[in-house]
Every structure is written in structure tokens, then in C-alpha cells.
Amino acid sequence: MGRTTGIRVRDTILWFDDSGESDLPVVLCLHSLWLDRTMFDGFAAAARGRFRVVRPDFRGQGQSAPATEEVVTMEECADDMEAFIEALGLKEVHLLAQSMGGDVALRLVAKRPDLFASLTMAGSSARGEPEEQMAWIESYIESARRQGGFKGENLDTLMGIMFGESTRNDPSRQAMLQHWRDRMSATNLSLWPAILGVGYRKGILHLLSGIATPTLIISGAEDPVRPPAWSDEVAAGLQNARLVRVPKVGHSPTLEAPEQVLPQILDFIGERALAATA
């Protein structure tokens, strides 16, 4: 039976949704910064009957306990997720990660390959933020801090980061966009440690060659913050990777083009789950 609850993990409490089917392969979904575990609602619905879907909120995000540190690093989030997996007793986990979730996922599979049967990354990379971008990021974050959140032009900029131009101009996507615009405009200061953690993340390209976990990489052709070239280098650096480029899609492929992307993810995970039982 499915459940939504909190669990103590290390020094925090993480909230999560768990569809609960103990006899099905497990998919662990790791969300984007500024979004939360509900960004995988569509995937969970599409996966019903095929996979057990577990969706946590990261430390300091969603419904999970607020962060107590000034910066929540990607390494700390990876440690949280390792402890979360062990607390739930999950085995042969299939990771589905978007944006920040991918930063965490790569660290996880590099550290604990024994826990994972596959990895799917969407709108993510293995790079740190380029130095030339950091001054702009710091200015943007400070402007939002002074406003008490993301409003007006700052919110418009954030929408342009999270969603591609084609999506923003698509009449059929307006309800989805408005939903997340409303959610992001309600962001409060409790998210700042997570924002800083993503902004100051370290590059981990050097870890890629040691990762053998079968990986599907989904890259939006219009992604401005994790551009196609960054996905290309992840695919080239991993031992066992498949790259899918999605046209007219930006930074959030599973939300912008679910009709195209979710079936490919389900098929990939299904293939890996079948291989694991062969």
C-alpha cells in the first residue's frame, strides 16, 4: 500500500512518497532544485503496476526538514540518499534523476555501485558551474534574497532557466507552467542553502570513467543551464551510456515532453530490470 511519510535520516527528516509494491523493481526519483518530489507524479502514474516508485524530497526542500547549515552540498545530499536507501531496505535500485538530482545521482553510483541497477539522468551533467557564470549567479541570488523570493523579472528568469522557449510558447503546456510558476514564486529563504549547494557544486568529470552502471541520458536541445555539450561529455565519459537528445525541450524534459520522454525511461528501466533477473 502506498504511503506519504517522513523518516529520520542521519541528522534530518526526509519526506517521501512510496507506491509500496514490495514485489516490483524499485525506481528512486531525485528531483530538481526549485521543484520537489511531485515533479514525478506523471512518471509514478505511468509506472503504476510495473515499478515501485519512491520519491523523496531533498534536505531543506519540499516537505523535508529545513536545512540547518548555510550550504547543502551535493555530497551531503548523496550521503542522505545512501542512508535513505538503506533505511528503507531498497535493493537493485533504478535511479531517475533530473537536474540537481543528477548531480546527486552520479555521486551516489560512484560511491555505491552495488546499490543500483540503472541510472536515468535528465537535464543534468557532471560539471561544476563555470567561473564566468558565478558572478551572475551570485548577483541573481542576492537580488532574489532582497525580494524575499522569486518575483517579477527574477521569476521570469527562473522560468527561462527551468523550461525551454518552445515549451513556454506552447499553449498546451501553459497549465503545467503556471503550476510550477506558482510553486517557485512561493519559494522562501529556507531553500537558500540548497540553491547555494547547487551553485557551488564541484565538477565530477573525473568520476565518470569509474561508473559502469547502465545509464540513459536525456538532454533537451534548448537547455540553457545544462547545455547539450555537457550531456555529450557525460555520455562519452561513462562506460555504459545511451544518449537521447530531445528537440524543442529545455531543462526539464520529464515535465516538458512527457509523451516522448516517459515511455523511453520506462522502456530503459524495464530492460535493465529484466536483465537483472536473467
pLDDT in tens, 193-241: 999 899 999 999 999 999 999 999 999 999 999 999 999 999 999 999 9
Reduced to 3 states, what is the DSSP secondary structure of residue 149?
coil
Task: Quickly count: other Cβ atoms within 10 Å of residue 92's Cβ.
Answer: 15
pLDDT confidence tier of residue 4, bands split at 50, 70 and 90: very high
Nearest CA among 16, 9, 11, 35 for reference residue 191: 35
Contact 29, 97 (CB under 8 A): yes
pLDDT value at 278 more than 80: no
* Cα three-residue angle 16-21-23, rounded to 5 degrees: 135
Q: Does 148 score more than 80 pLDDT? A: no
CA 98 – CA 100 distance, rounded (Å): 6
Residue 181 confidence (pLDDT) above 70: yes
How far is residue 39 from each of residues 31, 86, 125, 143, 179, measured CA to CA in Å? 7, 24, 19, 26, 11
Cα–Cα distances (Å) from 42 to 128, 255, 257, in that order, read: 29, 8, 11
Where do we find the cell 538530482? 101
C-alpha pair distances (Å), 267 with each of 94, 167, 214, 261: 12, 24, 13, 10
Among 70-74, 128-132, 232-236, 266-270, the least confident range: 128-132
Nearest-angstrom CA–CA distance, 91 and 165: 39
Residue with cell 529520520: 8
Interaxial angle between packed helices 192-199 and 100-111, expressed in degrees from 0 to 180 and rounded to the nearest 10: 70
Query: For 130-214, where are the E strands, in sequence order?
Result: none
pLDDT of residue 250: 98
| 196 contact partners, CB below 8 Å, separation of at least 6 | 70, 71, 72, 141
Give the strand pairing for 3-9 and 12-18.
antiparallel
Residue 126 CA to residue 228 CA, distance in Å, equals 12
Residue 108 CA to residue 103 CA, distance in Å, equals 9
Name the grid cell of 98: 533530473
Domains annotated for the chain, with CATH where assigned, are 3-277 (3.40.50.1820)
Q: CB neighbours (10 Å) of residue 222?
A: 19
Query: Is residue 89 predicted with pLDDT exceeding 90?
Result: yes
Q: State which amino acid sits at residue 273.
A: A
Residue of 171, 164, 178 lying closest to 248 (CA atoms):
164
Q: What is the pLDDT of residues 62-72, one digit of tens each?
A: 999 999 999 99
